Amino acid sequence: MAIRKDPLVSTFSKGRRKQLAAYHEGTLVATFAPITNGPEVLRGTPVAFDTSVNKWKIWANAGTNGVNIIKGFVYETFTSDGTDDVLAVVMVKGSILFDDIVLPDGETENNLKAALQTNMIERGLDIKELENIR
């Protein structure tokens, strides 16, 4: 199946440049594991699928069980819960401007860039304005 480069589902812009464009069938409702203190998770936050609990989590460069592999981006801001799972929309196929990606707490921009420069195209994610994508 070829990935289309034009947005088919929706495009959302908030503020000056907060843009994500999901391709056809490019979003899914995902179950997120509880996050300590239940913070708000912003649109554009990179996320990963934790294979040990079969739930989504915020990407962590030093994570294990798949948490260190970016699989998508939060499509709609949501408030997590400290004890219960939460359902949220994730963009798994689409495009996003690099400057609109939210850097998770405790991560560095260099690690984020390195994670985004590998295998994004194969996953159906187009990172705009990022050099050296492989």
Question: Do 101 and 72 meet the contact criterion of CB atoms below 8 Å apart?
Answer: no
**What tens digit of pLDDT does each residue of 59-82 get?**
999 999 999 999 999 999 999 999
String of DSSP letters for 85-106: -EEEEEE-SEEEEGGGS---TT
Query: Which among 54, 27, 64, 45 has a CA at the least distance from the CA of 116?
Result: 45
Residue ranges of alpha helices (H) inside 1-134 are 109-116, 120-123
Report all structural domains of the chain as residue ranges with CATH numbers, in order of start: 10-128 (2.40.300.10)
Whole-model pTM: value is 0.84
**What tens digit of pLDDT does each residue of 13-39 get?**
445 546 778 787 899 999 999 998 889
